[in-house]
Structure 1
């Protein structure tokens, strides 16, 4: 995963694809950092940096408690900086947020770092590469605009598009480059209209379904958000399953 810098606050809709402002969502990601004990890097524009982990969340007061490094000489320039950025990784997800008001305090016989909860969190991930495989026969599925045609089984979903099993008896079979207007049903209560472009098509043998790969041509903001939540939930389930195993 390539490093990304935090963009300046903007009203650009593309910026909202990475930015989280809702306190509840930010708190959920902070809880993930606390649970996983993922390493957090605190860095300054001048290149000074320390590594720490989240030790506690003071939800009523909106404060973070982090571990202080043992080498005190590395901490001083970080505490003195007016601009501080925290970076952490959770699997395929990169989290970044501004840290303000960082102070070092003594508690329980050890020095810790305290800072207010971030007001904005940036989440970057290789969403195009992560694919959510279908867990059943009913969902996800693609409902074509033509009412008389059956729902098309979705093999997997990514932020970039979907892989389909196109039945041999559903004609005409779309060709590479063609666009498909349809409704993507991710779950029973989660669906949105979309326009897909066929990227590749592999013919099935002896009446077997064709394998089609399609890319999203356009997604409304609400659709993009629903898709992101669907992918995030799948990634969280995967992490929990690996942890339980």
Structure 2
């Protein structure tokens, strides 16, 4: 089904970043932990038995490979966490869910009680992609080239893991109707494209010759196409976070 075209991965790129949601490169792991520290995002620690506490990162000791978290005020909630052989940390950054195993957690008492544990060897990053839409940054890409020699190339207004929004020219008739299926090549960037089948979810007609707004859902995606879409959305989110930092 797919005629995916993806440029070769850069030699220094980590395949773990883009595949299987797993990050095991130490630099990438520390970058995400620094994001948790900077944002003070809430972290939930849970055991297989359902015991849970909420905490935040207090500090990162990079040379020693240790992280320090805040201890809960309700001290009676801590013993099941410290005694558990399996402990999972879960946190959210924007539209991204981070999850990692915590081993060797101990409580340290000083001026105040804190929790310390080794930096995880891997982090799992799950994209909450259905809620995140990548808006079009230009007129050429992304776009949908409809199948058929006489059919036009339609501008894509935004892209998500669930589908796309199209800017359908009023002079391209007939306009698609709800539940109609459209087949074509989705061109995310100049060198990234794949075949796709879309189902129209809704159409908002434009006034006075303005383009129609057509919302479509992916009917199916080949594994290589789904991966290319994941990478495209991930890169867009990274650029957005970088821009927010520099403002």
TM more than 0.5:
yes
Q: 2:71 is paired with a residue of what secondary structure?
A: coil
The range that moved more, 202-211 or 147-156, is: 202-211
Aligned pair in 2 of structure 1 residues 103, 19: CA closer, same or farther (>3 Å)?
farther
Aligned pair in 2 of structure 1 residues 28, 226: CA closer, same or farther (>3 Å)?
farther
Q: 2:131 is paired with a residue of what secondary structure?
A: coil
Aligned pair in 2 of structure 1 residues 185, 195: CA closer, same or farther (>3 Å)?
same
Could you say which residue in structure 2 is the equivalent of 1:38?
Answer: 41
5 Å-filtered alignment, 1:91-240, equals: 91-104=94-107, 113-123=116-126, 125=128, 127-240=129-242
Listed as ranges, the gaps of 5+ residues in structure 1 are 1-16
The range that moved more, 205-214 or 96-105, is: 96-105
Q: How far apart, CA to CA, are the structure 1 residues paired with 2:234 and 2:141?
A: 17
Q: 1:195: how far off?
A: 0.7
Q: How far apart, CA to CA, are the structure 2 residues paired with 1:34 and 1:171?
A: 53
Q: How far apart, CA to CA, are the structure 2 residues paired with 1:123 and 1:35?
A: 20
CA contact (8 A) 1:164 1:213 kept: yes
Listed as ranges, the gaps of 5+ residues in structure 2 are 1-17
Q: 1:87: how far off?
A: 1.4
State the structure with bigger RCO (CA 8 A, min sep 6), 1 or 2: 2
Could you say which residue in structure 2 is the equivalent of 1:51?
Answer: 55
The range that moved more, 220-229 or 37-46, is: 37-46
TM-score, normalisation: structure 1: 0.76
Aligned pair in 2 of structure 1 residues 84, 38: CA closer, same or farther (>3 Å)?
same
Q: How far apart, CA to CA, are the structure 1 residues paired with 2:184 and 2:61?
A: 44
Could you say which residue in structure 2 is the equivalent of 1:14?
Answer: none
Does residue 82 of the first structure (1) align with residue 85 of the second (2)?
Answer: yes
Aligned pair in 2 of structure 1 residues 206, 113: CA closer, same or farther (>3 Å)?
same
5 Å-filtered alignment, 1:9-24, equals: 20-24=21-25
Q: How far apart, CA to CA, are the structure 2 residues paired with 1:130 and 1:70?
A: 32
The alignment's C-alpha RMSD in Å is: 3.3
Q: How far apart, CA to CA, are the structure 2 residues paired with 1:32 and 1:166?
A: 39
Q: 2:227 is paired with a residue of what secondary structure?
A: helix
Aligned pair in 2 of structure 1 residues 186, 174: CA closer, same or farther (>3 Å)?
same
TM-score, normalisation: structure 2: 0.75
Q: How far apart, CA to CA, are the structure 1 residues paired with 2:104 and 2:224?
A: 35
